[in-house]
Amino acid sequence: MSRPDQGGPVRNLSLVLGDQLDHTSAVFQGFDPAQDAVWMAEVQEEADYVWSHKLRLAYFFAAMRHFREELRSRGVTVHYHELGPDPASDRGKTFSQVLHQDARRLKPQKLILVRPGDFRVLTALQQVAADLSLPLDIRPDTHFLCSVAEFKEYAADRKNLLQEHFYRHMRRSRRILLDPQGKPVGGLWNFDKANRRTFGRRGPPEIPAPRTFPPDAITQEVIDLVRRRFRDHPGSLEHFTLPVTAAQAEDFLADFIEHRLPRFGDFEDAMWTGQPFLYHSRLSAPLNLKLLNPRQCLSKALQACEELAAPLNSVEGFVRQLLGWREYIRGLYWLHMPGYRDHNYFDQHLDLPSFFWHGDTDMHCFRQTMQFILAHGYSHHIHRLMVVGLFALLFGVHPRKFHDWHMAMYVDAIDWVSLPNTLGMSQAADGGLVGSKPYCASGNYIHRMSNFCSGCTYKPDKSLGAEACPFSTLYWDFLDRQYARLKQNVRLAYQLRALENKRSQPDQMAAIRRQAAEIRKTYF
């Protein structure tokens, strides 16, 4: 009998998506290379249903092609749909179209899939299987520590799904950073208060640059493809440095643990001009493509803590991101989808100002953040939350438009992580499902955490007049516009008292409203 690579019949066709590049994936359980085959596809729709950054496209395609080569070198048959420079040569624009054709040709008895990271993709693939009358075996994504089923069970009898409580549940149930009595190591569950240092006037010291992985021939071919075929897309391809294989990702992790983890905690929230990475790991991209497993990351960080190579506040901060935040965000996504997409608690409807795509603005903090994003498809979490996200919230942007932009511009963005992060955490549009209070602040926050304001034409402590910081004007305007909704949150009482003081001077409040309206007009 001929094998599946020689055009022979395929028993099971295992579908591997661009964010499922995991050799230990459940899609390979029971896989028999003599009878089964893998299916992978680069498709136009994934590149432009949101207007993706060139680097995001190149990263996915390069990592997918490396994964294909690794599978083939192990004797696995991979049916792979490659995009070429000419769209006319595509066999289909969507996963559904390409899979339809391949399944008709290969005639598998069954399709196997690990739960995708995007509800939209899950429903599309379910539809193909139904149209072809083929069984579709959907398996859990064992990359994550907490399964969808466990999260649903955890959520079932709880009124409030606070991240901090879920994090403690994960620490206890996985016995991570616990002493023999089951208490948190160091006496605290959370060292967040120790993790808000700034760099002061002198700025950050020399920080070892992250390990880079220059493009090999496969990646270079992809870069050339993206440069030609997707030339109108935003962003640059000059800095392709991320790991594209599991082995490279492991080196990337080791480099972070040795050189930047020790000070990661202290300066987790700090920002600085010209420094996109500081002590941050940038592990989110290889993690979200599943080149890295969170268990590897946890084990290396815990080992560094035990060997006293990294202090507890840094290790706990890193563990919280992976074991708390990341797993929590994913659990919430699957708990609330598909309805979650439609939340718009603050009833905001504006488009993004155009500088979200090119960064051409005189707000120095925003310009810097956009430089990082355009060059690297990346900025760290405080730029996301307290610069670009904050501006969208205060300006009045529709939360899903901000999510779509974030999906387009960040290399690490997949729907399961981007949607709760943007729509929930940063835009508070879900009415408090993800965060216990909206992250709203004036330019003073950015001033405290960075040196951006010293290079800016505006003054963060001014909300009126020619020198007023747009963040600060829009901050007071946001509190004023959304007063009735914000008043329901006791955690905002202090900020709202300050607004009430401002409101007691009606002329000043009216001037702020006028200036905010002017900013919206100018930035459109």
Using CB under 6 A, pick the residue from 108, 116, 276, 399 that binds ligand DLZ. Answer: 116
Q: Residue 507: exposed, middle, or buried by beta-carbon count in 10 A (0-12, 13-18, 19+)?
A: exposed
What's the closest the beta carbon of residue 436 comes to ligand SF4, in angstroms? 25
- Identify what 458 binds: ligand DLZ, ligand SF4, none; CB under 5 to 8 Å per kind: ligand SF4
The C-alpha atoms of residue 405 and residue 390 are separated, in whole angstroms, by 14
Residue 407: count other Cβ atoms within 10 Å of its Cβ.
22
Would you count residue 117 as binding ligand DLZ (CB under 6 A)?
Answer: yes
**Total residues interacting with ligand SF4, rule: CB under 6 A:** 15
H/E/C letters for each residue in 25-82? CHHHCCCCCCCCEEEEECCHHHHHCCCCCHHHHHHHHHHHHHHHHHHHHCCCCEEEEC
Among residues 50 and 474, whose Cβ is nearest to ligand DLZ?
Answer: 50
The C-alpha atoms of residue 289 and residue 269 are separated, in whole angstroms, by 25
The C-alpha atoms of residue 26 and residue 23 are separated, in whole angstroms, by 9
What's the closest the beta carbon of residue 398 comes to ligand DLZ, in angstroms? 21
The C-alpha atoms of residue 435 and residue 425 are separated, in whole angstroms, by 5
Among residues 169 and 290, whose Cβ is nearest to ligand DLZ?
Answer: 290
DSSP state of 18: T
The C-alpha atoms of residue 194 and residue 240 are separated, in whole angstroms, by 34
- Identify what 19 binds: ligand DLZ, ligand SF4, none; CB under 5 to 8 Å per kind: ligand DLZ
Residue 457: count other Cβ atoms within 10 Å of its Cβ.
10
Q: What strand order describes the sheet that includes 110-114?
A: 78-81, 37-41, 12-15, 110-114, 136-139
Give me the 413-432 binding string for ligand DLZ, x by CB under 6 A, dash otherwise. -x------------------
Using CB under 6 A, pick the residue from 244, 447, 451, 516 that binds ligand SF4. Answer: 447
What's the closest the beta carbon of residue 78 comes to ligand SF4, in angstroms? 48
What's the closest the beta carbon of residue 92 comes to ligand DLZ, in angstroms? 11
Would you count residue 19 as binding ligand DLZ (CB under 6 A)?
Answer: yes
Among residues 241 and 273, whose Cβ is nearest to ligand SF4?
Answer: 273
- Identify what 446 binds: ligand DLZ, ligand SF4, none; CB under 5 to 8 Å per kind: ligand SF4
Would you count residue 346 as binding ligand DLZ (CB under 6 A)?
Answer: no
What's the closest the beta carbon of residue 45 comes to ligand DLZ, in angstroms? 8
Give me the 43-62 binding string for ligand DLZ, x by CB under 6 A, dash otherwise. x--xx----x---xx--x--
Q: What are phi and psi of 7, to 5 degrees?
A: 85, 5
Q: Residue 35: exposed, middle, or buried by beta-carbon count in 10 A (0-12, 13-18, 19+)?
A: middle
Using CB under 6 A, pick the residue from 21, 246, 278, 363 that binds ligand SF4. Answer: 363
Using CB under 6 A, pick the residue from 102, 118, 266, 477 that binds ligand DLZ. Answer: 118
**Token match 């084990």: residue?**
299
The C-alpha atoms of residue 460 and residue 467 are separated, in whole angstroms, by 9
- Identify what 17 binds: ligand SF4, ligand DLZ, none; CB under 5 to 8 Å per kind: ligand DLZ
Would you count residue 460 as binding ligand SF4 (CB under 6 A)?
Answer: yes
Residue pair 236/54 in contact by the 8 Å Cβ criterion: yes
User: Which residues contact ligand DLZ by CB under 6 A?
Assistant: 17-19, 41-43, 46-47, 52, 56-57, 60, 116-118, 121, 414
User: Which residues contact ligand SF4 by CB under 6 A?
Assistant: 363-365, 443, 446-447, 452-453, 456, 458-460, 469-471
